[in-house]
Structure 1
Amino acid sequence: MPPALPETTRPFTGAEYLESLRDDREIYIYGDRVKDVTTHPAFRNSAASIARLYDALHDPEHHEQLCWPTDTGNGGYTHKFFRIAETAEQLREQRDAIAAWARLSYGWMGRTPDYKAAFGAVLGANPEFYGEYADNARAWYKRIQESCLYLNHAIVNPPIDRDKPSDEVKDVFIRAVREVEGGIIVKGAKVVATNSALTHYNFIGFGSAQVMGDDPDFALMFLAPMNSPGLKLICRPSYELQAGLTGSPFDYPLSSRFDENDAILILDDVFVPWENVLVYRDYERCRRFASAGGFGRLYPMQGCTRLAVKLDFISGLLTKALECTGSLEFRGVSAQVGEVIAWRNLFWSLTDAMCGAPERQDSWSTPALLPSNQAQQVYRVMAPTAYPAIKKIIEQTVASGLIYLPSGVRDFANPELDKYLATYCRGSGGMDHHQRVKILKLLWDAIGSEFGGRHELYEINYAGNQDDIRLQTLAYARASGAMAGMQGLVEQCLSDYDEQGWTVPHLHNPTDINALDGIRQ
């Protein structure tokens, strides 16, 4: 487990967070085991970027906006989103704290500690969902909040034989192998464990679109420390490392520091103590987790806020890139920039709506207030549409400017090349070539590099299966009565008239002017 803090009344500092990762965890990349993720060139700048978030919690410049007192009775403080909100104003303060943290990575890190804080918060808001393990949920709410523990989740089964129930893919999907003294032994794999190499714990559970069988050995949810014996991560290629090998921060300013490595999480006979178990051999509860557990109602506020910050950055960067080319004021180009800003405005407006029309859950025993379900469903459906649309606009408006660039910053150091670059790669309006190349390399890293391509995939699939998020929107419209209201409006219109004409007293039938009456045989 991560080392205990020297005191329990405050979150980790950046240095303490980095030290907590030096715990003999099994992380593999390029065939080798990583000895220390905080110093390995595939992970070190990403780890440092997360450490900066923890330091901000203690920085007088950020502390008031980011932190509240804990509600666990320990007399400490925590990031606002790690605590239950009970009023609309508290939800707004949480939104602003999420945004403040997101701005430290310009919106480019999606799985920062506040993402899974949504899960920690609902453990305290709705512990009864976990039945006999409700006390475990309460204990984890307290523990996660007091230290701002960094959790991730792995809830997707490997895409193997997806047409079969899990009990027919026993060699792949996570299952309970046996009970032992003090807990259970589990085995199997999950994907995609985003940034788990840098987290303290992983939550193992189910998403909303899972094919399940009837074998209860597969029906379990739990938390596992990242240094659990038998827990292994096999990582995808590191964009951070690739950037360092072939370029510099000038060439890859985002890849070099904000790469959240995605990994295959393997549990090879991992021991899970009972206090870390939330659901055990209970398929009904596993099936209801996505809709009734609460996490699905809270994480969209973090996701939407983070995306809105990211679109602030992309909108600003796009306009600067178009200033480089001298085309920003072209009518068609300006119109497309306006569309990008409209998308940006949409997601900020949705965060306002989430906070402005909050909802309580009558079945919950706590006064927790959740963001508007209707608003968060709009976010989940529209974000996968918005991001590719924005990327296409950038490609169309900046066009060849995205790749009309030298290979790297080293080209400036060659006087024979630099004299040409100064002329042929300069920007518009007196902008020198160094500044133009710097801006456009930043934009290329955002949308054109492997890092940028991964971000498009991430935003498209962030909220889950595309059909599923739309079906959930329809189901909520029916369950909430909104669909009945929509159909009622149509019924009202239909009742205004019949075959004989208007049925409402304020309108005039055309019997006195209808020309067809005069030509009847």
Structure 2
Amino acid sequence: MAVEQPRAGVTTGRPMTGSEYLESLRDGRRVYFRGEWVRDVTTHPAFRNAARSIARLYDALHDPRFKDILTKVDRYGNLTHKFFAPAYSAQDLLEARDAIALWQRLNYGWMGRTPEYKASFMATLGADPDYYKPFGDNARRWYNEAASRVLFLNHVIVDPPVDRHRPIHEVRDVYVHVVKETDGGIYVSGAKQVATASALTHATFVAANSGSAARLQEGKDEDFALVFIARMNTPGQVLISRASYELKAESPFDYPLSSRFDENDAILVFDNAFIPWEDVLIYRDVQKLKAFYADSGFFNRFNFQATIRMAIKTEFMAGLLLKGLECNGTVDFRGNQVLAGEIVAMRHLFWALVAAMAHDPEPSLGDSVVPRLEYAAAARVYTNFAWDRIRQIFERVLGGSPILNVSSYKDLRDPDLRPILDRYLRGTGMPAKERIKLFKLVWDAVYSEFAGRHGLYELNYAGNHEQKYLDTLNWARARQLTDQFKELVDQCLADYDLDGWKDPAWAWDG
């Protein structure tokens, strides 16, 4: 199948602009919200500001202030975002780091699944398309389309939490699987989660994470051993969105984060959806599906992007906490400084992990390099549980201050109420309006429904709490690192026995 031709107003051969990105979302996709088909996500109040937050990223690619940091020409001749291209050196990774960071600072680290997140995988298709034989041409074509237009892909790699005690092939009514094979392609049915920001993307990447893949059995689960890409207007593909925090945000003053950075999550359902062969990467190959999560370089690269985002989000939270303490007049209290210092230390740790991943990469597909797996695994663990600790610190040192606030920005516009607010809701050296504004931001970051979703997201977006540690251990075993660890202990045990030290350099009077 030829590469899909763009609609009027959308240009190939270079990254999209913000307006072209918004136009590209008007493609007939089936997004359901509150029992209705959302015909245009760019104008619907549940999605429109998040769409514009993404559009700002595309405009930055063309901004003279940013384009040299953000873009490069890859080996195929595509002008693209630097993280959308494979890296071939530590310098390439360092430049990609700066490009990711620039984009993430535009949303203060509050949008995790921005276009460069899935570029963690899509770039690897260009490094060695033939890894996906007999679908190597598909990988090459998808890489070039994604890179040249800086496509925004979402992904679904987790089976719904249904009947997980049963073998995968016994849950055909729910899990994504092949229904029928034809000369033109395959028909698939089933559901996947969690399709974060999917309503605002160009295509869905469908695969299995390490936990799901580990459960696959040869001879039984071939119909489930799939990796493919489905454009968002694929017939039979349906997105069922959760509640919109953007829709519930009454004003930017009251909800400055919810109102523009809500990456609406969704359940993605394929109902006898047709996937052309040209969009398939792995088909009915259990062993390849089990291996690809680590072999492809996706794991190494997505943790690179995720750690940069978390470093910036942690910087934001450190600044927010310090401003809250200053407003309360408690910034000089020793205990508060200790806990603020803990958040700053987290920030330093994350940037140190990013530096290690960039400066000490490992070989990957083709002659490309990716961040070292061991460092990526460590980053996955420590960034995921950091958010709980940050929230605990806010709760401990700010106490009930975030609750001491008005119900709405409208209270500040009431001429009778305003003098009372100006007197009793002022901060330390801060007018009431600014104090109210600051703690509205604190509330939206830590306590609102949007914030609650972020707490769940940060803990689970990279895998369940056990899988993160299991993968770290299993990959260390596969690389013989655990053998090295045990050998170090064996060396120590060999230094002595019942008769004392074996090396006379140590003394013993026993």
TM-score category, normalised to shorter length: over 0.9
1:392 maps to 2:395? no
Output the CA distance in 2 between the equivalents of 1:386 and 1:6.
Answer: 40
Q: For 1:239-388, what aligned pairs fall within 5 Å after superposition?
A: 239-243=245-249, 247-361=250-364, 364=365, 366-388=366-388
From 75, 84, 87, the equivalent of 1:85 is 87
In structure 2, the residue matched to 1:216 is: 222
In structure 2, the residue matched to 1:58 is: 62
Comparing 216-225 with 91-100, which one deviates more in the overlay?
216-225
In structure 2, the residue matched to 1:518 is: none
Assess if the C-alpha contact under 8 Å between 2:299 and 2:376 holds in 1: no
In structure 1, the residue matched to 2:72 is: 68
Output the CA distance in 2 between the equivalents of 1:147 and 1:52.
Answer: 15
User: Between Structure 1 and Structure 2, how many residues are aligned?
Assistant: 502
- Which consecutive segments of 4 or more residues in structure 1 shift more than 6 A? none
Q: For 1:108-147, what aligned pairs fall within 5 Å after superposition?
A: 108-147=110-149
Shift of 1:495: 2.7
Q: For 1:462-473, what aligned pairs fall within 5 Å after superposition?
A: 462-473=461-472
Shift of 1:7: 4.2
Output the CA distance in 2 between the equivalents of 1:158 and 1:232.
Answer: 15
**Equivalent AA in structure 2 for residue 201 of structure 1:** A
Secondary structure (helix, strand or coil) at the match of 2:31 reads strand
**Equivalent AA in structure 2 for residue 230 of structure 1:** G
Please report the TM-score for the alignment, with normalisation by the length of structure 1: 0.94
Assess if the C-alpha contact under 8 Å between 2:10 and 2:16 holds in 1: no
- Sort the Cα spacing of 1:173 and 1:481 in 2 relative to 1 into closer, same or farther, 3 A: closer
Output the CA distance in 1 between the equivalents of 2:133 and 2:182.
Answer: 21
**Equivalent AA in structure 2 for residue 29 of structure 1:** F
Output the CA distance in 2 between the equivalents of 1:185 and 1:499.
Answer: 69
**Equivalent AA in structure 2 for residue 446 of structure 1:** A
In structure 2, the residue matched to 1:43 is: 47
Shift of 1:421: 1.1
From 23, 27, 51, the equivalent of 2:27 is 23
**Equivalent AA in structure 2 for residue 330 of structure 1:** F
Please report the TM-score for the alignment, with normalisation by the length of structure 2: 0.96
In structure 2, the residue matched to 1:515 is: none
Output the CA distance in 1 between the equivalents of 2:160 and 2:470.
Answer: 23
Output the CA distance in 2 between the equivalents of 1:232 and 1:2.
Answer: 22
Shift of 1:99: 0.5
Output the CA distance in 2 between the equivalents of 1:482 and 1:217.
Answer: 34
Output the CA distance in 1 between the equivalents of 2:42 and 2:166.
Answer: 40
Output the CA distance in 2 between the equivalents of 1:375 and 1:284.
Answer: 25
In structure 1, the residue matched to 2:414 is: 414
Assess if the C-alpha contact under 8 Å between 2:307 and 2:379 holds in 1: yes
From 196, 201, 205, the equivalent of 1:203 is 205
Secondary structure (helix, strand or coil) at the match of 2:72 reads strand
Shift of 1:6: 5.2
Output the CA distance in 1 between the equivalents of 2:321 and 2:303.
Answer: 26
Give the fraction of aligned pairs with identical amino acids, expressed as a percent.
50
Output the CA distance in 1 between the equivalents of 2:221 and 2:462.
Answer: 27
Q: For 1:482-521, what aligned pairs fall within 5 Å after superposition?
A: 482-510=481-509
Assess if the C-alpha contact under 8 Å between 1:2 and 1:200 holds in 2: no
Assess if the C-alpha contact under 8 Å between 2:240 and 2:266 holds in 1: yes
In structure 2, the residue matched to 1:237 is: 243
Output the CA distance in 2 between the equivalents of 1:51 and 1:424.
Answer: 41
Shift of 1:451: 0.5
Output the CA distance in 1 between the equivalents of 2:422 and 2:198.
Answer: 44
Secondary structure (helix, strand or coil) at the match of 1:471 reads helix
From 163, 177, 180, the equivalent of 1:178 is 180
CA RMSD of aligned residues (A): 1.5
In structure 2, the residue matched to 1:437 is: 436
Secondary structure (helix, strand or coil) at the match of 1:415 reads coil
In structure 2, the residue matched to 1:519 is: none
Name structure 2 gaps, 5 residues minimum: none
Output the CA distance in 1 between the equivalents of 2:445 and 2:415.
Answer: 29
Shift of 1:416: 2.1
Output the CA distance in 2 between the equivalents of 1:490 and 1:31.
Answer: 61
Output the CA distance in 1 between the equivalents of 2:261 and 2:465.
Answer: 26
Comparing 93-102 with 277-286, which one deviates more in the overlay?
277-286
Output the CA distance in 2 between the equivalents of 1:242 and 1:185.
Answer: 38
Name structure 1 gaps, 5 residues minimum: 512-521
Deviation by residue 1:37-75 (Cα, 9 ceiling, x = unmatched): 0000000000000000000000001101111113213xx
Output the CA distance in 2 between the equivalents of 1:162 and 1:484.
Answer: 33
- Sort the Cα spacing of 1:6 and 1:331 in 2 relative to 1 into closer, same or farther, 3 A: closer
Shift of 1:175: 1.5
**Equivalent AA in structure 1 for residue 437 of structure 2:** K
- Sort the Cα spacing of 1:215 and 1:489 in 2 relative to 1 into closer, same or farther, 3 A: closer
Secondary structure (helix, strand or coil) at the match of 1:420 reads helix
Output the CA distance in 1 between the equivalents of 2:34 and 2:359.
Answer: 48
Comparing 494-503 with 334-343, which one deviates more in the overlay?
494-503
**Equivalent AA in structure 1 for residue 43 of structure 2:** T
Output the CA distance in 1 between the equivalents of 2:208 and 2:317.
Answer: 33
Deviation by residue 1:3-31 (Cα, 9 ceiling, x = unmatched): 25754331000000000001111111011
- Rg larger in structure: 1
**Equivalent AA in structure 2 for residue 206 of structure 1:** A
Shift of 1:2: 7.4
Shift of 1:186: 1.3
